[in-house]
Amino acid sequence: MTNFVLYGSQASLFTGKVRGYMNWKGLTYEEKAVDETIMKTVILPHVGWPVIPVLQTPDGRVVQDTADIIAEIEATYPEPSVMPAGPVQRFASLLMQVFADQWLLLPAMHYRWNYNEDWISTEFGRSTAPDASATEQHAIGKKRGEKFRAMVPLLGIDEATIPGIESSYEQFLSEFSTHLEQHDYVFGSRPSFADFSLLGPLYAHLYRDPASREVMERVAPRVARWTERTISGEDRDGYLIGNDTIPETLEPLFRRHSAEHLPVLAAVNTLFDQWSATASSGDELPRSFGRVPFTAGGSEGQTLALSFSLFRLQAALDALQGLSDSDRANAEGFLKRINAEELLSFKIGKLLVRKNCKLCLA
Ligand SMILES: N[C@@H](CCC(=O)N[C@@H](CS)C(=O)NCC(=O)O)C(=O)O
Protein backbone atom coordinates (compact mmCIF):
# COMPACT_ATOMS: atom_id res chain seq x y z
CA MET A 1 0.00 0.00 0.00
CA THR A 2 2.77 2.44 0.88
CA ASN A 3 6.51 2.71 0.72
CA PHE A 4 7.56 4.64 3.75
CA VAL A 5 11.12 4.19 4.94
CA LEU A 6 11.84 4.49 8.65
CA TYR A 7 15.50 5.16 9.36
CA GLY A 8 16.14 4.15 12.92
CA SER A 9 17.49 1.50 15.23
CA GLN A 10 16.21 -1.30 17.44
CA ALA A 11 18.21 0.21 20.28
CA SER A 12 16.75 3.70 19.89
CA LEU A 13 14.19 5.08 22.33
CA PHE A 14 12.41 7.33 19.86
CA THR A 15 12.43 4.82 16.99
CA GLY A 16 10.38 2.45 19.19
CA LYS A 17 7.72 5.13 19.64
CA VAL A 18 7.27 5.48 15.87
CA ARG A 19 7.67 1.78 15.05
CA GLY A 20 4.88 0.74 17.40
CA TYR A 21 2.67 3.49 16.00
CA MET A 22 3.36 2.56 12.35
CA ASN A 23 2.74 -1.12 13.06
CA TRP A 24 -0.56 -0.24 14.68
CA LYS A 25 -1.56 1.97 11.74
CA GLY A 26 -1.09 -1.11 9.56
CA LEU A 27 1.32 0.66 7.22
CA THR A 28 3.78 -1.23 5.14
CA TYR A 29 7.18 0.31 5.54
CA GLU A 30 10.79 -0.62 5.41
CA GLU A 31 12.91 0.02 8.47
CA LYS A 32 16.55 0.69 7.72
CA ALA A 33 19.26 0.67 10.36
CA VAL A 34 21.38 3.79 10.14
CA ASP A 35 24.94 3.07 9.11
CA GLU A 36 27.57 5.60 8.07
CA THR A 37 26.33 5.70 4.47
CA ILE A 38 22.74 6.47 5.44
CA MET A 39 23.97 9.04 7.93
CA LYS A 40 25.97 10.80 5.20
CA THR A 41 23.48 10.48 2.36
CA VAL A 42 20.08 10.82 4.08
CA ILE A 43 20.18 12.10 7.63
CA LEU A 44 22.83 14.80 7.55
CA PRO A 45 21.80 16.33 4.20
CA HIS A 46 18.09 16.41 5.07
CA VAL A 47 18.05 16.85 8.83
CA GLY A 48 21.31 18.70 9.38
CA TRP A 49 22.41 16.82 12.50
CA PRO A 50 22.82 13.17 13.50
CA VAL A 51 19.50 12.05 14.98
CA ILE A 52 16.97 9.24 14.57
CA PRO A 53 14.25 8.31 13.81
CA VAL A 54 13.79 9.85 10.38
CA LEU A 55 10.86 9.05 8.09
CA GLN A 56 10.97 9.19 4.33
CA THR A 57 7.47 9.51 2.87
CA PRO A 58 6.36 7.77 -0.33
CA ASP A 59 6.73 11.09 -2.19
CA GLY A 60 10.31 11.45 -0.97
CA ARG A 61 9.95 14.01 1.82
CA VAL A 62 12.03 13.54 4.92
CA VAL A 63 10.49 14.14 8.36
CA GLN A 64 12.26 14.19 11.71
CA ASP A 65 10.83 14.32 15.20
CA THR A 66 8.50 11.64 16.40
CA ALA A 67 5.58 14.03 16.96
CA ASP A 68 5.92 15.39 13.41
CA ILE A 69 6.24 11.89 11.97
CA ILE A 70 3.03 10.81 13.71
CA ALA A 71 1.24 14.03 12.64
CA GLU A 72 2.40 13.53 9.03
CA ILE A 73 1.00 10.00 8.90
CA GLU A 74 -2.24 10.95 10.70
CA ALA A 75 -2.84 13.67 8.10
CA THR A 76 -2.68 11.10 5.29
CA TYR A 77 -4.23 8.14 7.13
CA PRO A 78 -6.65 9.64 9.67
CA GLU A 79 -8.42 6.39 10.61
CA PRO A 80 -8.15 4.94 13.12
CA SER A 81 -7.08 8.14 14.83
CA VAL A 82 -4.18 7.79 17.23
CA MET A 83 -5.62 10.64 19.30
CA PRO A 84 -8.60 10.02 21.60
CA ALA A 85 -11.80 11.89 20.75
CA GLY A 86 -12.06 13.85 24.00
CA PRO A 87 -10.28 17.22 24.11
CA VAL A 88 -9.17 16.73 27.72
CA GLN A 89 -7.98 13.21 26.88
CA ARG A 90 -5.97 14.77 24.03
CA PHE A 91 -4.42 17.27 26.42
CA ALA A 92 -3.63 14.44 28.87
CA SER A 93 -2.06 12.46 26.00
CA LEU A 94 0.28 15.37 25.21
CA LEU A 95 1.12 15.70 28.90
CA MET A 96 1.92 11.99 28.96
CA GLN A 97 4.24 12.63 26.01
CA VAL A 98 6.13 15.22 28.09
CA PHE A 99 6.47 12.65 30.89
CA ALA A 100 7.52 9.83 28.58
CA ASP A 101 9.87 11.66 26.22
CA GLN A 102 11.48 13.97 28.71
CA TRP A 103 11.31 12.45 32.20
CA LEU A 104 11.24 8.67 31.84
CA LEU A 105 14.46 9.35 29.93
CA LEU A 106 16.21 9.27 33.32
CA PRO A 107 15.40 5.65 34.26
CA ALA A 108 15.83 4.64 30.61
CA MET A 109 19.36 6.06 30.49
CA HIS A 110 20.21 4.83 33.98
CA TYR A 111 19.25 1.19 33.44
CA ARG A 112 20.81 1.07 29.97
CA TRP A 113 24.18 2.52 30.90
CA ASN A 114 24.57 1.31 34.46
CA TYR A 115 23.31 -2.27 33.94
CA ASN A 116 23.58 -3.05 30.20
CA GLU A 117 26.69 -1.23 28.98
CA ASP A 118 28.55 -4.22 27.52
CA TRP A 119 25.43 -5.61 25.92
CA ILE A 120 24.39 -2.34 24.32
CA SER A 121 27.93 -1.66 23.09
CA THR A 122 27.94 -4.94 21.18
CA GLU A 123 24.42 -4.20 19.98
CA PHE A 124 25.44 -0.77 18.64
CA GLY A 125 28.42 -2.43 16.93
CA ARG A 126 26.20 -5.17 15.46
CA SER A 127 23.97 -2.65 13.70
CA THR A 128 26.87 -0.52 12.42
CA ALA A 129 29.15 -3.40 11.39
CA PRO A 130 27.04 -6.56 11.05
CA ASP A 131 29.91 -8.61 9.63
CA ALA A 132 32.53 -7.75 12.26
CA SER A 133 33.48 -10.18 15.07
CA ALA A 134 31.78 -9.78 18.47
CA THR A 135 34.95 -8.24 19.92
CA GLU A 136 35.19 -5.74 17.07
CA GLN A 137 31.49 -4.96 17.35
CA HIS A 138 31.91 -4.29 21.05
CA ALA A 139 34.79 -1.87 20.38
CA ILE A 140 32.94 -0.12 17.51
CA GLY A 141 29.75 0.10 19.55
CA LYS A 142 31.54 1.39 22.62
CA LYS A 143 32.87 4.27 20.59
CA ARG A 144 29.48 4.93 19.00
CA GLY A 145 27.79 4.90 22.38
CA GLU A 146 30.19 7.39 23.98
CA LYS A 147 28.01 10.43 23.36
CA PHE A 148 24.99 8.74 24.95
CA ARG A 149 27.04 7.38 27.87
CA ALA A 150 28.34 10.90 28.48
CA MET A 151 24.75 12.12 29.00
CA VAL A 152 24.30 9.93 32.09
CA PRO A 153 26.12 12.13 34.65
CA LEU A 154 24.85 15.29 32.93
CA LEU A 155 21.27 14.10 33.38
CA GLY A 156 22.06 13.82 37.09
CA ILE A 157 22.25 10.04 37.26
CA ASP A 158 24.90 9.36 39.89
CA GLU A 159 25.52 7.56 43.17
CA ALA A 160 23.41 10.04 45.11
CA THR A 161 20.37 9.92 42.82
CA ILE A 162 20.33 6.31 41.60
CA PRO A 163 18.43 4.97 44.65
CA GLY A 164 15.68 7.56 44.08
CA ILE A 165 15.57 7.07 40.30
CA GLU A 166 15.19 3.30 40.79
CA SER A 167 12.60 3.64 43.51
CA SER A 168 10.58 6.12 41.45
CA TYR A 169 10.76 3.91 38.35
CA GLU A 170 9.66 0.81 40.26
CA GLN A 171 6.73 2.73 41.73
CA PHE A 172 5.84 3.98 38.26
CA LEU A 173 5.88 0.37 37.02
CA SER A 174 3.55 -0.71 39.84
CA GLU A 175 1.20 2.21 39.19
CA PHE A 176 1.04 1.52 35.46
CA SER A 177 0.53 -2.17 36.16
CA THR A 178 -2.41 -1.36 38.44
CA HIS A 179 -3.92 0.70 35.63
CA LEU A 180 -3.40 -2.20 33.21
CA GLU A 181 -5.41 -4.50 35.49
CA GLN A 182 -8.45 -2.45 34.46
CA HIS A 183 -7.57 -1.39 30.90
CA ASP A 184 -5.42 -3.01 28.23
CA TYR A 185 -3.97 0.39 27.26
CA VAL A 186 -3.84 3.96 28.57
CA PHE A 187 -7.31 4.97 27.38
CA GLY A 188 -9.12 1.72 26.73
CA SER A 189 -8.84 -1.54 24.83
CA ARG A 190 -6.67 -0.21 22.00
CA PRO A 191 -3.51 1.89 22.02
CA SER A 192 -3.41 5.63 21.39
CA PHE A 193 -0.89 8.46 21.39
CA ALA A 194 -0.09 8.18 25.11
CA ASP A 195 0.75 4.47 24.72
CA PHE A 196 3.17 5.10 21.86
CA SER A 197 4.75 7.92 23.87
CA LEU A 198 5.31 5.60 26.84
CA LEU A 199 6.58 2.93 24.49
CA GLY A 200 9.64 5.09 23.70
CA PRO A 201 11.40 4.73 27.06
CA LEU A 202 9.71 1.45 27.98
CA TYR A 203 10.66 -0.53 24.86
CA ALA A 204 14.30 -0.26 23.78
CA HIS A 205 15.96 0.67 27.07
CA LEU A 206 13.66 -0.78 29.71
CA TYR A 207 12.26 -3.90 28.03
CA ARG A 208 14.70 -4.91 25.31
CA ASP A 209 17.97 -4.33 27.20
CA PRO A 210 18.26 -7.64 29.09
CA ALA A 211 19.12 -6.45 32.62
CA SER A 212 16.36 -3.83 32.43
CA ARG A 213 13.88 -6.44 31.30
CA GLU A 214 14.57 -8.48 34.44
CA VAL A 215 13.45 -5.49 36.50
CA MET A 216 10.30 -5.01 34.45
CA GLU A 217 9.42 -8.71 34.58
CA ARG A 218 10.04 -8.83 38.33
CA VAL A 219 8.12 -5.67 39.26
CA ALA A 220 5.43 -5.45 36.61
CA PRO A 221 5.10 -8.37 34.17
CA ARG A 222 1.82 -6.81 33.03
CA VAL A 223 3.78 -3.79 31.75
CA ALA A 224 6.11 -6.15 29.88
CA ARG A 225 3.09 -7.75 28.15
CA TRP A 226 1.73 -4.24 27.33
CA THR A 227 5.14 -3.38 25.83
CA GLU A 228 5.03 -6.48 23.63
CA ARG A 229 1.51 -5.71 22.42
CA THR A 230 2.25 -2.02 21.84
CA ILE A 231 5.48 -2.48 19.86
CA SER A 232 3.84 -5.06 17.60
CA GLY A 233 0.86 -2.80 16.89
CA GLU A 234 -1.87 -5.15 18.11
CA ASP A 235 -5.48 -4.21 18.86
CA ARG A 236 -6.33 -1.90 16.02
CA ASP A 237 -10.06 -2.35 16.50
CA GLY A 238 -10.57 -1.81 20.20
CA TYR A 239 -12.37 1.10 21.85
CA LEU A 240 -11.24 4.21 23.70
CA ILE A 241 -13.13 5.30 26.80
CA GLY A 242 -15.88 7.83 26.04
CA ASN A 243 -17.19 10.98 27.74
CA ASP A 244 -13.72 12.52 27.74
CA THR A 245 -12.96 10.50 30.86
CA ILE A 246 -9.47 10.03 32.19
CA PRO A 247 -9.33 6.79 34.17
CA GLU A 248 -8.64 7.34 37.87
CA THR A 249 -5.95 4.65 37.73
CA LEU A 250 -3.82 6.99 35.55
CA GLU A 251 -3.76 9.70 38.19
CA PRO A 252 -0.84 8.25 40.23
CA LEU A 253 1.33 8.33 37.06
CA PHE A 254 0.45 11.94 36.38
CA ARG A 255 0.96 12.86 40.06
CA ARG A 256 4.47 11.39 39.85
CA HIS A 257 5.11 13.58 36.82
CA SER A 258 3.75 16.63 38.66
CA ALA A 259 5.91 15.98 41.71
CA GLU A 260 9.16 15.23 39.89
CA HIS A 261 9.14 16.89 36.49
CA LEU A 262 6.96 20.00 36.85
CA PRO A 263 9.46 21.72 39.17
CA VAL A 264 12.19 20.93 36.62
CA LEU A 265 10.10 22.36 33.79
CA ALA A 266 9.44 25.51 35.81
CA ALA A 267 13.16 25.92 36.45
CA VAL A 268 13.98 25.33 32.77
CA ASN A 269 11.38 27.93 31.86
CA THR A 270 13.06 30.51 34.11
CA LEU A 271 16.41 29.85 32.41
CA PHE A 272 14.70 30.08 29.03
CA ASP A 273 13.28 33.51 29.97
CA GLN A 274 16.77 34.68 30.86
CA TRP A 275 18.24 33.32 27.63
CA SER A 276 15.46 34.63 25.40
CA ALA A 277 15.64 38.15 26.88
CA THR A 278 18.64 38.83 24.66
CA ALA A 279 17.81 36.44 21.79
CA SER A 280 16.08 37.30 18.51
CA SER A 281 13.40 35.75 16.37
CA GLY A 282 14.84 32.80 14.45
CA ASP A 283 17.68 32.15 16.91
CA GLU A 284 18.39 28.50 17.58
CA LEU A 285 18.01 27.40 21.19
CA PRO A 286 20.91 25.68 22.94
CA ARG A 287 20.14 22.00 23.68
CA SER A 288 20.27 22.86 27.38
CA PHE A 289 20.41 25.97 29.53
CA GLY A 290 22.70 24.38 32.10
CA ARG A 291 21.47 22.32 35.02
CA VAL A 292 18.55 22.58 37.43
CA PRO A 293 17.67 20.78 40.69
CA PHE A 294 15.41 17.74 40.72
CA THR A 295 14.01 15.23 43.18
CA ALA A 296 13.10 11.67 42.22
CA GLY A 297 12.03 8.97 44.66
CA GLY A 298 13.39 11.05 47.53
CA SER A 299 16.88 11.61 46.04
CA GLU A 300 18.04 15.07 45.05
CA GLY A 301 20.37 16.04 42.25
CA GLN A 302 20.91 18.35 39.30
CA THR A 303 19.71 17.49 35.81
CA LEU A 304 20.10 19.03 32.37
CA ALA A 305 17.74 21.93 31.66
CA LEU A 306 16.65 20.52 28.29
CA SER A 307 15.24 23.19 25.99
CA PHE A 308 13.27 20.59 24.02
CA SER A 309 11.25 19.71 27.12
CA LEU A 310 9.63 23.18 26.87
CA PHE A 311 8.70 22.50 23.26
CA ARG A 312 6.91 19.29 24.27
CA LEU A 313 5.24 21.15 27.13
CA GLN A 314 4.19 23.93 24.75
CA ALA A 315 2.21 21.37 22.69
CA ALA A 316 0.33 20.27 25.83
CA LEU A 317 -0.29 23.85 26.97
CA ASP A 318 -1.62 24.78 23.53
CA ALA A 319 -4.15 21.95 23.83
CA LEU A 320 -5.08 23.10 27.34
CA GLN A 321 -5.48 26.75 26.34
CA GLY A 322 -7.56 25.80 23.30
CA LEU A 323 -10.28 24.09 25.39
CA SER A 324 -13.84 25.39 25.45
CA ASP A 325 -15.16 26.64 28.81
CA SER A 326 -16.94 23.38 29.64
CA ASP A 327 -13.95 21.24 28.66
CA ARG A 328 -11.75 23.55 30.67
CA ALA A 329 -13.77 22.81 33.80
CA ASN A 330 -13.15 19.11 33.23
CA ALA A 331 -9.41 19.79 32.69
CA GLU A 332 -9.23 21.89 35.85
CA GLY A 333 -10.68 19.03 37.90
CA PHE A 334 -8.14 16.65 36.38
CA LEU A 335 -5.23 19.05 36.98
CA LYS A 336 -6.30 19.53 40.58
CA ARG A 337 -6.43 15.78 41.15
CA ILE A 338 -2.92 15.33 39.74
CA ASN A 339 -1.45 18.34 41.62
CA ALA A 340 -0.70 20.20 38.41
CA GLU A 341 -2.92 23.26 38.72
CA GLU A 342 0.12 25.42 38.00
CA LEU A 343 -0.20 24.37 34.35
CA LEU A 344 -3.33 26.55 34.13
CA SER A 345 -1.18 29.66 34.43
CA PHE A 346 2.13 28.29 33.13
CA LYS A 347 3.50 30.65 30.46
CA ILE A 348 6.35 29.91 28.13
CA GLY A 349 7.47 33.47 27.42
CA LYS A 350 8.22 33.14 23.73
CA LEU A 351 6.85 30.85 21.07
CA LEU A 352 9.06 27.91 20.10
CA VAL A 353 9.11 26.48 16.59
CA ARG A 354 11.16 23.91 14.73
CA LYS A 355 12.96 25.26 11.67
CA ASN A 356 15.05 22.94 9.54
CA CYS A 357 14.74 20.32 12.29
CA LYS A 358 16.20 22.67 14.91
CA LEU A 359 14.45 24.27 17.85
CA CYS A 360 14.22 28.06 17.36
CA LEU A 361 12.44 31.17 18.59
CA ALA A 362 9.50 31.98 16.34
N1 LIG B 1 12.70 14.91 19.74
C2 LIG B 1 13.28 13.88 18.93
C3 LIG B 1 14.33 13.11 19.74
C4 LIG B 1 15.07 12.11 18.94
C5 LIG B 1 16.28 11.58 19.68
O6 LIG B 1 16.71 12.12 20.72
N7 LIG B 1 16.82 10.49 19.15
C8 LIG B 1 18.03 9.91 19.71
C9 LIG B 1 18.06 8.42 19.47
S10 LIG B 1 16.70 7.62 20.29
C11 LIG B 1 19.21 10.51 18.97
O12 LIG B 1 19.40 10.24 17.80
N13 LIG B 1 19.93 11.36 19.64
C14 LIG B 1 21.07 12.03 19.10
C15 LIG B 1 21.30 13.32 19.80
O16 LIG B 1 20.43 13.70 20.60
O17 LIG B 1 22.33 13.93 19.56
C18 LIG B 1 12.17 12.96 18.43
O19 LIG B 1 11.13 12.85 19.10
O20 LIG B 1 12.32 12.42 17.33
For residue 200, which atom of ligand 1 is closest to its CA? 10
CATH of the domain at 198: 1.20.1050.10
Q: Which of 76, 98, 117 is the last residue of a domain?
A: 76
- Residue of minimum CA distance from atom 17 in ligand 1: 51
Q: How many domains does the chain contain in total?
A: 3
Domain-embedded: residue 202 = yes
Domain-embedded: residue 134 = yes
For residue 53, which atom of ligand 1 is closest to its CA? 20
CATH of the domain at 55: 3.40.30.10
- Cβ contact 22:16 at 8 Å: no
For residues 69 and 100, membership in a common domain is answered with: no
For residues 238 and 186, membership in a common domain is answered with: yes
Q: For ligand 1, say whether the CB of 12 is within 6 Å of any of its atoms.
A: yes
The per-residue pLDDT for range 264-287, each reduced to its tens digit, is 999 999 999 999 999 999 999 999
- Residue of minimum CA distance from atom 14 in ligand 1: 51
Classify residue 334 as exposed, middle or buried by CB count within 10 Å of its CB (0-12, 13-18, 19+). Answer: buried
Instruction: Give residue 128's pLDDT.
Output: 81
Query: What is the residue range of 59's domain?
Result: 4-76
- The continuous run of DSSP H or E covering 198 comes out as helix 193-203
Q: Which of 213, 248, 283 is the last residue of a domain?
A: 248
For residues 302 and 356, membership in a common domain is answered with: yes
Q: For ligand 1, say whether the CB of 52 is within 6 Å of any of its atoms.
A: yes
For residues 129 and 235, membership in a common domain is answered with: yes
DSSP state of 162: H
For residues 115 and 235, membership in a common domain is answered with: yes
CA of 257 to the centre of ligand 1 (A): 21
For residues 118 and 209, membership in a common domain is answered with: yes
Domain-embedded: residue 337 = yes
Domain-embedded: residue 320 = yes
For residues 236 and 157, membership in a common domain is answered with: yes
For residues 132 and 278, membership in a common domain is answered with: no
CA of 42 to the centre of ligand 1 (A): 16
For residues 64 and 140, membership in a common domain is answered with: no
Pocket test for ligand 1, best of 6, 39, 44, 52 (most atoms within 8 A of CB): 52
Q: For ligand 1, say whether the CB of 97 is within 6 Å of any of its atoms.
A: no
Instruction: Give residue 319's pLDDT.
Output: 98
Distances (CA, A) of 278 to 79, 122, 346, 349: 45, 45, 21, 13
For residues 100 and 54, membership in a common domain is answered with: no
Distances (CA, A) of 122 to 50, 82, 87, 207, 280: 20, 35, 44, 17, 44
For residues 271 and 122, membership in a common domain is answered with: no
The per-residue pLDDT for range 150-191, each reduced to its tens digit, is 999 999 999 999 999 999 999 999 999 999 999 999 999 999
* CB-based contacts of 220, cutoff 8 Å, min separation 6: 173, 174, 176, 177
CA of 277 to the centre of ligand 1 (A): 27
Instruction: Give residue 35's pLDDT.
Output: 86
Domain-embedded: residue 91 = yes
Residues of the chain where predicted confidence (pLDDT) is lower than 50: none
The full DSSP string for 42-110 is IIHHHHSS--S-EEE-TTS-EEESHHHHHHHHHHH--SS-SS-SSHHHHHHHHHHHHIIIIITHHHHHH
Instruction: Give residue 112's pLDDT.
Output: 98
CA of 147 to the centre of ligand 1 (A): 12
CA of 145 to the centre of ligand 1 (A): 13
- Residue of minimum CA distance from atom 13 in ligand 1: 51
Domain-embedded: residue 82 = no
Angle of helix 210-219 versus helix 105-115 axis, rounded to 10: 120
Instruction: Give residue 2's pLDDT.
Output: 63
CA of 15 to the centre of ligand 1 (A): 9
- Residue of minimum CA distance from atom 16 in ligand 1: 51
Q: For ligand 1, say whether the CB of 127 is within 6 Å of any of its atoms.
A: no
Q: For ligand 1, say whether the CB of 66 is within 6 Å of any of its atoms.
A: yes
Q: Which of 248, 265, 297 is the last residue of a domain?
A: 248
Domain-embedded: residue 72 = yes
Domain-embedded: residue 81 = no
For residues 284 and 332, membership in a common domain is answered with: yes
